[in-house]
Amino acid sequence: MSEHEMNERDHKKLGKEMDLFAFSDSVGKGLPLFLPKGATMRRELERFIVDEEIRRGYLHVKTPDLAKLDLYRKSGHYPHYKDSMYAPIVIDDEEFMLRPMTCPHHFELFLSRPHSYRELPMRIAELAQLYRYEQSGELMGLQRVRTFCLADAHIICASEEQAVEEVGRALDLIEYVAGVFGLKLGEDYSYRLSLGDRTNTEKYYKNDAAWEKSEDLLRKHLKSRGSKFVESKDEAAFYGPKIDVQMKNVNGKEDTAFTVQYDFCMPDRFDLTYTAEDGSQKRAFVVHRSSIGAIERIMAFLIEKYAGAFPLWLSPVQAKILPVSEKHAEYAKKIAAELAAESIRVEVDDTDSLGKRIRTAKMEKVPYLLVVGDQEVEAETATLESREGKIGALPIAEIRDRFVNEIKTRA
């Protein structure tokens, strides 16, 4: 990719040009503000992943954006993540933290009542707003921010075998999601097995046998899938090894987009148990995973991948209706109302000359244009044009059905 093309695809540049997001020094560095079009994209991504996860047996929950500091001491995140956590907030002589991760909240939800082996695996999921203090020099557009929404989940399992099965299901979901985005394993993303370091007892939970076993379980699972992967020492979470999904941005910088983590530490720290078939209490196993990653980071990646020319389902404006002259405006508004009734995001543009309006719509990378003049009004049609070229005059019902099907299938 040439330097010019890289610059043209840069999500920071396109985000500004396409009115997707902005930053304000008055609000703070690394705190993105999403304009209506960017918020529309976010909403589509969020609805897509929540609906898909629910179809796959996830239980979506909602938990607070902050918690008592003691909760993170209990989990071990504090002091492990102290340098990337915001300073404690003192309220009524108690210390609270803006949460940098969701796991302790989800474990407390699990502990709110007893559970049977029949309920496991229990897949607790959330679109969680998280807060991490990234160094100023590390901040970059939407890829590296100080607050982000993570499509997070914690899967409570009855056995190591069940945990490995859930790792596989999480990877199946990630590969499905990547396929919807048009991403190919080996081309657009790759797997990295992130391992611990037995000698680094400050960074990692001390349990050599558990590290050996869990790393081997993930390694064998990736091999059984036939997945190519690289191994990377000292990249694991402090509580266990993980499978990272690595993607590169237009500048060639590699980042972790999604992750699946095996956890042998938290079940002990939180005393996560369930009632087994024989009536005894047994220790649970936990899998942490993100399916679509951080909404902000995947948005940055998709803006650059598509160079702003998003598929129909993800486009902030899906169609523009262009009346040839003022006398065709009422007909254009009637079509817009019919399409909007099917939740199609449509705008009528009757400003300036027709040629200028067409050029503007193409510059904005709107997927479809509907031009209406005397002939279209008389025949109750519209002349349809996509980003690939002119399609022709079609009945409005046919255009509507075409859009609905393309959006539904996320083609």
- Binning pLDDT at 50, 70 and 90, where does residue 65 land? very high
| Contacts of residue 224, Cβ cutoff 8 Å, sequence gap at least 6 | none
Token pair of 220, please? Answer: 């064998």
CB-based contacts of 178: which residues, under 8 Å, 6+ apart?
A: 184, 185, 188, 189, 245
Architecture of domain 312-409: 3-Layer(aba) Sandwich (3.40)
With cut-offs at 50, 70 and 90, classify the pLDDT of residue 202. low
What is the per-residue pLDDT for 396?
97
Q: What is the Cα–Cα distance from 408 to 313, expressed in whole angstroms? A: 8
Closest CA to 287 of 232, 336, 218: 218
What fold characterizes domain 3-306? Answer: BirA Bifunctional Protein; domain 2 (3.30.930)
Question: For residue 3, is pLDDT > 80?
Answer: no
Per-residue pLDDT at 388 exceeds 80: yes
Mean pLDDT score, 286-304: 94
- Give mean pLDDT, residues 346-366: 94
208 pLDDT more than 80: no
Torsion of CA 406, 409, 410, 411, to 10 degrees: -60
Predicted pLDDT at 201: 63
Domain ranges in the chain? 3-306, 312-409
| CA dist., res. 137 & res. 126, Å (int) | 30
Q: What's this model's pTM, rounded to 2 decimal places? A: 0.93
Q: pLDDT grade, residue 345 (50/70/90)?
A: very high
Question: What average pLDDT score do residues 185-200 get?
Answer: 85
Q: What is the pLDDT of residues 323-342, one digit of tens each?
A: 999 999 999 999 999 999 99
DSSP string, 172-197: HHHHHHHHHTT--BTTTEEEEEE---
Sign of CA dihedral 44, 47, 53, 56: negative
More confident residue, 208 or 271: 271
Angle between helices 160-180 and 36-55 (to 10 degrees): 140
Who contacts 210 (Cβ-Cβ below 8 Å, separation ≥6)? 240, 264, 265
